[in-house]
Amino acid sequence: MKLLKATTFLVAAAMATGAAAQQDGGRLDLIVQPEPPGLMLGLVQNGPTQMVAGQIYEGLLRYNQDLEPQPSLAKEWEISDDGMTYTFKLQEGVKWHDGEPFSAADVIFTTKFLQDNHARFRGAFSHVESVEAPDDNTIVIHMKEPYGPFINAFEAGSMPIVPKHIYEGTDYATNEMNNTPIGTGPYTFVEWEKGSFIHLKKNPDYYLDGLPHIDDLYYRVVPDAASRAVAFETGEVDVLPGGAIENWDVARLTKMDNVCSTSEGWEFFAPHAWMWLNNREGPTSNKLFRKAVMYALDREFVKDVVWNGFGKVPTGPVSSKTNFYTDDVPQYPHDPEKAKELLKEMGYDGTPVRLLPLPYGETWQRWAEAVKQNLEEVGISVDIDSADVAGWNEKTANWDYDMAFTYLYQYGDPALGVARNYIESQIQKGSPWNNVEGYVNPEVDAMWEAAAVEPDNAKRQDMYTEIQQKIVEDVPVAWLLEIEFPTIYRCEVKNLITTGIGLNDGLRDAWIEQ
Amino acid sequence: MAIAVAIFSRLLKAAITLLAIAILNFFLVHAAPGDPATVLAGEAGAADPQMIADLKARFGLDQPFYIQLARYVGNIMTLDLGYSFRQGQPVLDLIMERLPATLILTLTAFWISLLAGVALGVAASARVGKFTDTLITGAALLFYATPLYWAALMAVLVFSVQLGWLPGFGYETVGSGYGGLARAWDILKHLILPALTLGLFFMAVYMRMTRASMLEVAQQDFVKTAKAKGLAPSIIRRRHILRNALLPVVTLAGLQAGQLVGGAVLTETVFAWPGIGRLMFESLAARDYNTILGVFLVSAAMVIVFNIITDLVYRLIDPRIGQKA
């Protein structure tokens, strides 16, 4: 029996923070951008919702920055040697924010609730045979097959535990309680003034003694990027989460007195940016052309100039922060001459390609312009084809593009966040988060399938190394950047980022030096 | 009596116009690429076909287009603006939540621009060609030509970041616990920059309009008659010239008033003002159909209402108008 019993939280916290005395109290103002559509994490899983609701709801586990599981609503867990049974021991004395006791029944109910409402959960739980609760504080999950990445599927965004007593037997989507979310987390919902702010306050009955430290959290909604920078500059807000301001403001703000910044807290997500190259038609359907694109791109330049030096140029489909990464793959350095040779070899006739940028602000626009310039230097003619968010979704989901910017989260494991973009069964019109480029390689598909259910981690590493080598050789997409979104905050805020999802669940441990 | 009939016939026409606008809006909004289900799924960063299908069914988007249209028209005929599936609230609630903030901003800007614009216009026309006139017209030209967005950002940089006199964004101090007068004062301080920014452009327009109109009316025969009677110049200016010169200004004010609900998108965005313009803009980006249509409909209704009010004000200023009709 392989035993993965973690130390209790308090010991872990003490190790993380050294011996500094943690102070209670205070108020923290953070930017949330854009305003979330809702806070019921079981129903809505977009970025801003996760950032706010991650303080209200909890998962069974959390993950540290090395992506190792840590206790959350589950205090201990075991995985059987054959990888077929997962046993979770739940925390005792946990109460929902309305005072009702939390128990294993809520977890069982959650698996049903999320089955109807959470695409990513549905994917992970398709490997599950059954879930049972032998007693009020134990959950046992029986698998259909061993599924290595399963242990990574339990953080608050992937599997938020929702209250059975509020949702059972109701229409989940229209339940009035969605507007006043009830969770088990360290902060409770107080008020949401639409267009202005969301106010959360300390949960006085939180089951971990002494936590949380901060009294009030205000998530401020400021729709204009320049105004968000001003809000931080004038002291109105204390924390700018990654991506809240345009990159060129980062350097200016981090030079201010008493301002700290970090690019940590994104390890679990490991946002990975690339351009989909339409493998079905046009010049991009030719492998030589796609390789030429890789050689033509000056990715280091974009990292240094457009992203102010933040991030890392990727070697292939898997982020260096994600488990089972390898850099032992074919390399594509910036080499315009090589790109021209490849274009000549393929007989490129100058057919223009349409480039679809991501409509997420000025940074992305500049990035598209840099790519256009790189490609035109080697003789590829490029038309930038702009759209708003809905238009971008429509075009990519229906494959109406030649090259399209995107970035995706990896969720710690290639099987969770990477495979979906390269396997044939994930070619599904109508969604922009799958194999949009139309890459088909049955040999690699078989390897993905085998690697996901391989219980031995060393063997999984070998398999994923080979997968990465093969995909990088085929260049179905043009990998651009492992994005790092710097979080900018006042230095008196301590312990802000302690997990692999950073601000999304970090306020539990954060405190303010008075 | 005549006025009651006039109002009734206007209202009837207004209702028909409004219905036509609503149907047109419905087509327009649905013609934009994408739909609320794909946007919501897209934001989740992960989606499978089941999720999109579930969302479309929940939003009623799986129905044929004509049924969606028929449902929508049926709803608005019964004054039901529908439900925002994205935000999980009835559209009317969303609009009512945002309406006060917008009205405070736009009405303040409206009155500032109207009063200051007319006063400056009168002042400039009284000293035509002199230094005061040049100064006022010069300033007006500057306000007229400055892009709103830029003026807003500069105002924030100067008065909020550099001088620290006024808050740079927001509606009130968040979590201050102010009540009563303290809260009103707090909101007023937050109101100054956005209201001025929004008001400057129209102030310039009113000023130029008033000035030109005053000068034109001053040339007319009845003014000469009044002078010949020996009336004091200030009375002539106020009672004879200004009253007649105001008609074009009222027309313009009617147009501006029509934009009270939906016309402050940029200002609300830069100053993070929690108003209805932002609700409209954000709903548009999210293809939150019911909310966009609701805001459009309320805005259209406001335009029509202010058109009627403008007509009534004409009658007050110039009683001949009603009689001719």
d(CA A484, CA A490): 19
| B42 contacts A432 by C-beta, under 8 angstroms | yes
Are B88 and A179 a contacting pair at CB < 8 A? yes
Which residues in chain A are classed under CATH 3.90.76.10? 66-164
**pLDDT value of position A509:** 94
Q: Which of A393, A407, A413, A435 to mutate to test the interface with B (most CBs of B within 10 A)?
A: A393
- Amino acid residing at B261: V
Helices (H), A321-474: 336-346, 362-377, 389-397, 414-417, 442-452, 457-474
Other C-beta atoms within 10 Å of B50: how many? 11
Chain B, nearest residue to A197 by Cα: B174
A195 touches chain B (CB under 8 A): yes
**pLDDT value of position B258:** 81
**pLDDT value of position A9:** 44
d(CA A54, CA A32): 13
d(CA B105, CA B198): 8
Quote the radius of gyration of chain A (alpha carbons, Å). Answer: 23
d(CA A316, CA A444): 15
d(CA B9, CA A452): 72
Closest CB to B169: pick one of A222, A392, A432.
A222
- Mean pLDDT of the region A23-29: 93
- Please report the residues numbered 116 through 175 in chain B whose beta carbons come closer than 8 angstroms to any beta carbon of chain A: 153, 156-157, 160-161, 164, 167-171, 174-175
- Mean pLDDT of the region A391-400: 89
Q: For residue B298, give both structure tokens.
A: 């309320």
Closest CB to B287: pick one of A222, A231, A390.
A390
Q: In the 8-state DSSP scheme, what is residue A203?
A: -
d(CA A456, CA A333): 34
> A392-409 burial, b if ≥16 CB within 10 A, otherwise e?
bbbbbbebbbbbbbbbbb
pLDDT at A4 over 50: no
3-state secondary structure of A230: helix
A481 touches chain B (CB under 8 A): no
pLDDT at A414 over 70: yes
Helices (H), chain B: 2-31, 36-43, 49-59, 65-77, 91-126, 131-145, 148-155, 180-218, 221-229, 233-235, 243-258, 265-270, 276-285, 289-317, 320-324
- Mean pLDDT of the region A112-130: 90
What ipTM did this prediction achieve?
A: 0.84
Chain B, nearest residue to A232 by Cα: B161
Going by pLDDT thresholds of 50, 70 and 90, the confidence category of residue A13 is very low
Q: Rounded to a whole number, what is the distance in Å from the CA of B42 to chain A's nearest CA?
A: 7
Task: Specify which residues A216 forms β-bridges with.
Answer: A27, A201
* CA nearest neighbour of A383 among A359, A340, A351, A406: A351
- Partners of A199 on chain B (C-beta within 8 Å) are 174-175
- Mean pLDDT of the region A87-96: 95
* CA nearest neighbour of B88 among A179, A76, A421: A179
Q: Rounded to a whole number, what is the distance in Å from the CA of B4 to chain A's nearest CA?
A: 41
DSSP string, B272-319: T---HHHHHHHHHHTT-HHHHHHHHHHHHHHHHHHHHHHHHHHHHH-T
Chain A, nearest residue to B55 by Cα: A117
H or E stretch covering A189: strand A187-193
**pLDDT value of position A467:** 96
What lies within 8 Å, CB to CB, of B203 at 6+ separation is: B112, B113, B116, B117, B120, B140, B143
Enter the pTM of the model. Answer: 0.88
Residue with tokens 């089951």: A207
| Phi-psi category of residue A235: left, alpha or beta, with phi > 0 → left and psi -120 to 50 → alpha | left
Spell out the domains of chain B, with CATH numbers in brackets.
15-80 (no CATH), 99-317 (1.10.3720.10)
Which residues in chain A are classed under CATH 3.10.105.10? 272-483
- Partners of A44 on chain B (C-beta within 8 Å) are 40, 44
Are B160 and A428 a contacting pair at CB < 8 A? no
Tens of pLDDT, residue by residue, chain B (325 residues): 677 887 788 888 888 999 999 999 999 988 888 888 888 877 777 777 788 888 888 888 888 888 889 988 888 888 888 888 888 889 999 999 899 999 999 999 999 999 999 999 999 988 888 898 999 999 898 888 888 878 888 888 899 888 888 888 888 888 878 888 899 999 999 999 999 888 988 899 999 999 999 999 988 888 888 888 888 888 888 888 888 888 888 888 888 888 777 778 888 988 999 999 999 998 988 889 999 999 999 888 888 888 888 888 888 888 777 665 4
A68 touches chain B (CB under 8 A): no
**pLDDT value of position B323:** 64
State how beta strands A493-494 and A477-482 pair: unpaired
pLDDT single digits (tens) B199-244: 988 899 999 999 999 999 988 888 888 888 888 888 888 888 888 8
Q: For residue B204, give both structure tokens.
A: 């310039």
Side-chain half-sphere CA neighbours of B226 within 13 A: 18
**pLDDT value of position A345:** 95
Task: Specify which residues A193 forms β-bridges with.
Answer: A197
Q: For residue B315, give both structure tokens.
A: 């009658």
Which residues in chain A are classed under CATH 3.40.190.10? 20-56+185-266+485-513
pLDDT at A141 over 50: yes
d(CA A12, CA A224): 39
pLDDT at A443 over 80: yes
**pLDDT value of position B157:** 87
Going by pLDDT thresholds of 50, 70 and 90, the confidence category of residue A360 is confident
Topology adopted by domain A66-164: Dipeptide-binding Protein; domain 1 (3.90.76)
**pLDDT value of position A10:** 43
Q: For residue A176, give both structure tokens.
A: 């009035």
d(CA B22, CA B14): 12
From residue B322, alpha-carbon distances to A379, B240, B251, B310 in Å are 71, 20, 16, 13
* CA nearest neighbour of A189 among A175, A203, A176: A203
pLDDT single digits (tens) A256-311: 999 999 999 999 999 999 999 999 999 999 999 999 999 999 999 999 999 988 89
Are A234 and B272 a contacting pair at CB < 8 A? no
End-to-end CA distance of chain A: 47
d(CA B82, CA B288): 11
pLDDT at A16 over 60: no
d(CA B249, CA A130): 74
B253 touches chain A (CB under 8 A): no
**pLDDT value of position A20:** 55
d(CA A256, CA A6): 40
pLDDT single digits (tens) A174-210: 888 999 999 999 999 999 999 999 999 999 999 998 9
d(CA B291, CA B7): 30
> A128-146 burial, b if ≥16 CB within 10 A, otherwise e?
beebebeeebbbebebeeb
* CATH class, A20-56+185-266+485-513 region: alpha beta
3-state secondary structure of B23: helix
pLDDT at A373 over 90: yes
Closest CB to A195: pick one of B88, B278, B287.
B278
- 3.40.190.10, 3.30.2020.30, 3.20.190.10, 3.10.105.10: which CATH number matches A272-483? 3.10.105.10
B62 touches chain A (CB under 8 A): no
Q: In the 8-state DSSP scheme, what is residue B156?
A: I
Residue with tokens 């109105």: A236
3-state secondary structure of B163: coil
* CA nearest neighbour of A110 among A62, A57, A51: A57
Are B33 and A236 a contacting pair at CB < 8 A? no
Q: For residue A16, give both structure tokens.
A: 């993380």
Q: In the 8-state DSSP scheme, what is residue A312?
A: B
Other C-beta atoms within 10 Å of A179: how many? 14
Q: For residue B279, give both structure tokens.
A: 């609700």
Closest CB to B52: pick one of A178, A196, A430.
A430
| A397 contacts A133 by C-beta, under 8 angstroms | no
**pLDDT value of position B322:** 64
Closest CB to B278: pick one of A223, A236, A420.
A223
Mean pLDDT of chain A: 91
Q: For residue A65, give both structure tokens.
A: 């920055």
